[in-house]
């Protein structure tokens, strides 16, 4: 298999390539090639056995031309500075595309959270906030959950920030528990947003859901909600996986049964449950790599970045891919898929439901006025449908892929903000007049 590209350099290359024909100035492209500020910290953690360990923590505020920066915090042993900066760049594009008054950011800790006790996890989360307290805030940078972080961790972080600042600040973090100022509908938002993209795609392609087979790599919160909604629509979910491997059944799976088993046994097992009684069903165990190569109609990479590279792109049989993970297809592999006629709904569009409902949560926190679930879902559908329509129409009108169209829409919106401040053309004209 070909060597996986550096995720940040690959992200920058995409911006350069698309920026060349996006109709925006070189100044905008150049701004997107340079993160505004990146913070690194060594986080001390007193372990339960009394020993002291240190973990690397990162926060990148990539671009704030459209507003305060926004982005999740992930806990993973492979978190790196390059990864965090790439994710911050993608968040910048994503927020601009979604029409949110945000720039992009991202953070993370290089840690295997499964090896920590609950109390160690809490102490590490609070240590992260102590290290970053001066660079986050409701009008500066608003974190949220990401890989291996959740509502409880966000609640700890908000509590630590409020203790440091000695004031209530419900809008400093999104993705919190509802009783701590979180928003209803936030837990399902990323998956529901991806489902809305599939729905719009199906409407344009005149799909009959019952005839479509779906494989999903990853079975975390976002993948579960997407699978649940697709199953309700009539799609057949024939394969799912977690970090240890996957399962495949031509007959499809009952998603609620798989999720129940995953939550109780922490394993991916092909079961069908009636209330609390579950039984194994016929299935085939497969690897994550094999899942990507299944003969299905729709493939959903919902785990980590760079899982489809030039080394396996030709083996992908799905005609349509919806990226729920961030950056699951590298730029070289995407060229291969494009040549083969594979349609890719890009991550900056497909997984924007999470940051959109995080925006709703921030608005509720700033105003002190909570919304009901119907309002959240209705407004999410409006945002996602509007974004999908804009990307689809731009792609059709300008002969672009959906990813290229998404980046073009986002970069043109960023360009409008840069121009409003004054760009090279404006200041050059002023100099000549002088």
Rounded to 5 degrees, φ, ψ at 87 are: -65, -35
Rounded Cα gap, residues 118 and 130, in angstroms? 19
Contact (CB, 8 A) for 182 and 361: yes
The DSSP annotation for 360-394 comes to HHHHHHHHT-PPPHHHHHHHHHHHHHHHHHHHHHH
DSSP 137: B
Catalytically annotated residue among 36, 56, 70, 106: 106
How many angstroms separate the CA atoms of 32 and 173, rounded? 25
> Which region, left, alpha or beta, applies to residue 422 given φ > 0 means left and ψ of -120 to 50 means alpha?
left
Which residue from 130, 131, 133, 109 is spatially nearest to 121, judged by alpha carbons?
A: 109
Q: What are phi and psi of 290, to 5 degrees?
A: -65, -35
Cα 306 off chain centre by: 14
The two tokens of residue 405 are 């169209």
Encoded tokens for 372 = 């009901």
Cβ–Cβ < 8 Å for 357, 183: yes
Angstrom distance (rounded) from CA 226 to CA 75: 22
335 is catalytic: no
Nearest Cα to 43, choosing from 123, 162, 148? Answer: 123
In angstroms, rounded to a whole number, what is the distance separating the alpha carbons of residues 381 and 263?
Answer: 28
Task: Just list the catalytic residues.
Answer: 106
């Amino acid at each position: 298999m070909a060597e996986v590209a550096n995720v940040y350099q690959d992200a920058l290359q995409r911006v350069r390539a698309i920026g060349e024909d996006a109709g925006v100035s070189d100044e905008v492209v150049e701004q997107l090639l340079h993160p505004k500020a990146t913070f690194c910290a060594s986080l001390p953690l007193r372990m339960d056995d009394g020993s002291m360990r240190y973990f690397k923590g990162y926060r990148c505020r990539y671009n704030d031309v459209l507003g305060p920066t926004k982005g999740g915090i992930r806990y993973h042993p492979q978190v790196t500075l390059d990864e965090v900066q790439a994710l911050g760049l993608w968040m910048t594009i994503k927020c601009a595309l979604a029409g949110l008054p945000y720039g992009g950011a991202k953070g993370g800790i290089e840690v295997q959270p499964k090896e920590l006790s609950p109390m160690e996890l809490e102490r590490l989360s609070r240590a992260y906030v102590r290290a970053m307290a001066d660079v986050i805030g409701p009008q500066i940078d608003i974190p949220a959950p990401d890989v291996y972080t959740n509502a409880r961790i966000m609640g700890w972080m908000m509590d630590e920030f409020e203790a440091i600042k000695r004031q209530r600040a419900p809008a400093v973090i999104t993705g919190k528990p509802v009783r701590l100022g979180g928003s209803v509908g936030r837990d399902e938002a990323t998956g529901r947003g991806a489902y809305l993209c599939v729905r719009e795609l199906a409407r344009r392609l005149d799909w009959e859901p019952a005839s479509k087979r779906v494989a999903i790599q990853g079975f975390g919160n976002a993948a579960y909600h997407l699978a649940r909604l697709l199953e309700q629509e009539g799609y057949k979910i024939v394969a799912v996986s977690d970090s240890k491997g996957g399962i495949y059944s031509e007959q499809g799976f009952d998603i609620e049964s798989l999720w129940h088993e995953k939550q109780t046994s922490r394993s991916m097992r092909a079961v069908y449950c009636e209330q609390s009684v579950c039984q194994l069903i016929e299935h085939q165990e497969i690897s994550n790599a094999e899942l990507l190569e299944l003969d299905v109609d729709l493939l959903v990479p919902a785990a980590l970045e760079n899982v489809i590279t030039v080394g396996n792109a030709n083996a992908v049989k799905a005609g349509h891919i919806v990226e729920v993970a961030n950056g699951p297809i590298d730029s070289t592999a995407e060229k291969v898929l494009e040549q083969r006629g594979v349609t890719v709904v890009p991550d900056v569009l497909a997984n924007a439901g999470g940051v959109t409902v995080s925006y709703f949560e921030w608005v509720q926190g700033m105003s002190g006025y909570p919304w009901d679930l119907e309002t959240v879902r209705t407004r999410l559908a409006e945002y996602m449908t509007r974004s999908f329509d804009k990307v689809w129409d731009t792609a059709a009108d300008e002969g672009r892929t959906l990813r290229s169209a998404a980046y073009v829409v986002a970069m043109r919106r960023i360009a409008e903000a840069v121009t409003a401040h004054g760009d090279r053309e404006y200041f050059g004209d002023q100099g000549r007049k002088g």
